[in-house]
Amino acid sequence: PMWVYDEDVGMNCREVTFVPGLYKIFDEILGKESNIISIWNNGKGIPVVEHKVEKVYVPALIFGQLLTSSNYDDDEKKVTGGRNGYGAKLCNIFSTKFTVETACKEYKHSFKQ
């Protein structure tokens, strides 16, 4: 059982069914419950340049186009939270609003979409 809100009776403890794949899409990017989810990374960052082959900015490619990840090699040892770059992209697709904002010190550019 899980506590859920029901418009007719308010909070209600009951069995809830869900599609695990859909849950995992949002689990990939959500860290806490709120109306706004922010993901911060103070690492190297995302290059704010046009991708040479796809002719779109790299952040738009990363968060908006499926099958553009580099996480496909099952033999490579890595520590990662997702697979094949689907998590944030699908969260973007199924969200009513999804904003990407990044800055790149190397190229001295910022990106917001």
For residues 84-93, give the mean pLDDT.
Answer: 78
**Maximum alpha-carbon separation in the chain:** 56
CATH of 2-112, one of 1.10.10.10, 3.40.50.80, 3.30.70.360, 3.30.565.10: 3.30.565.10
pLDDT tens-place string over residues 59-86? 888 888 876 665 545 566 554 555 556 7
pLDDT at 110: 86
> In terms of C-beta density within 10 A (0-12 exposed, 13-18 middle, 19 or more buried), how is residue 49 classed?
middle
**Of the candidates 24, 28, 27, 4, the residue with the CA atom closest to the CA atom of residue 15:** 4
Contacts with 97 (C-beta within 8 Å, 6 or more apart), sequence order: none
pLDDT at 15: 92
pLDDT tens-place string over residues 10-51? 899 999 888 888 777 777 666 555 666 677 777 777 889 998
pTM: 0.56
Domain ranges of the chain: 2-112
